[in-house]
Amino acid sequence: MIKATWLGHSAVKIEGSKTIFIDPFIKGNPASSCTLDDIKKADMVFVTHYHGDHVGDAFFICQKTGATLVAIHEIAVEASELGINSEGMNIGGTVEVEGVKFNMVPALHSAEKGTPAGVVIEIDGHRIYHAGDTGLTYDMKLVGEFFKPELSFLPIGDRYTMGIASAAKAVEFTQTKRVVPIHYNTFELIHNDPQSFKKIVGTLAEVIILKPGEHYNLA
């Protein structure tokens, strides 16, 4: 079983045979459900792109726990220079770390360094898609065709990412079975209503609306 916890904003914790953090923006995140002191264990940390609300506390967590950082090449190089065990990669590539596969897929966004990305994580026989910050793109159809994710985390906050209508279309494109909306209501500029998203998605997929700190068990 996989325990997937939304930590607020785009931060997600995946717990199975390994513990993985994605975009751990904890300190300074008004929506964060935990503090850095709460984080005792991590095996890997994946960063989707170089913006402060996504790189967040990734380097600190890796230094604290000994976790491996997995990210676009440029972020991995910076982390390596700080003495962090890092696995750099790029769009279309796959990296396997301790039995967990990270498949880096496109995201349509901007970044201060490197290229924005999403990721499909394969762990314990499950496939989980985290879109990162992105607009709607036809590349998501390939995510669906190749990976058919069982659980997806999609941004719905609009302005800087997809809004509700685009994210609902992304559900169709990715063929995901279950979706958790993220990257909304952290700040006023990305205020949005997950219930409206759920209504538009309809029967395409199960929409799982979590509060920061709540989790979903993927059996």
Q: Is residue 109 part of a domain?
A: yes
C-beta separation of 107 from 133 below 8 A? yes
93: which 2 tokens? 């590539």
163-200: per-residue pLDDT in tens?
Answer: 999 999 999 999 999 999 999 999 999 999 999 999 99
Please tell me the predicted confidence (pLDDT) of residue 135.
Answer: 98
Please tell me the predicted confidence (pLDDT) of residue 174.
Answer: 98
Q: Is residue 84 part of a domain?
A: yes
Number of domains in the chain: 1
86-129: per-residue pLDDT in tens?
Answer: 999 999 999 999 999 999 999 999 999 999 999 999 999 999 99
Q: Is residue 87 part of a domain?
A: yes
Please tell me the predicted confidence (pLDDT) of residue 79.
Answer: 98
Please tell me the predicted confidence (pLDDT) of residue 24.
Answer: 98
Q: Is residue 216 part of a domain?
A: no
What 3-state DSSP class applies to 209? coil
Closest CA to 76 of 85, 63, 67, 66: 85
What amino acid occupies position 141? K
Residue 51 pLDDT grade (very low, low, confident, very high; cuts 50, 70, 90): very high
Please tell me the predicted confidence (pLDDT) of residue 110.
Answer: 98
E strand map for the chain: 2-8, 11-15, 19-22, 44-46, 68-72, 86-89, 94-97, 100-106, 117-123, 126-130, 151-155, 178-182, 206-207, 215-218
Q: Is residue 217 part of a domain?
A: no
Whichever domain contains 32, its CATH number is: 3.60.15.10
Q: Is residue 188 part of a domain?
A: yes
C-beta separation of 184 from 157 below 8 A? yes
Mean pLDDT computed over 192-215: 98
Please tell me the predicted confidence (pLDDT) of residue 192.
Answer: 98
Q: Which domain, by its residues, includes 143? A: 2-210
Distance CA 62, CA 67 (A): 5
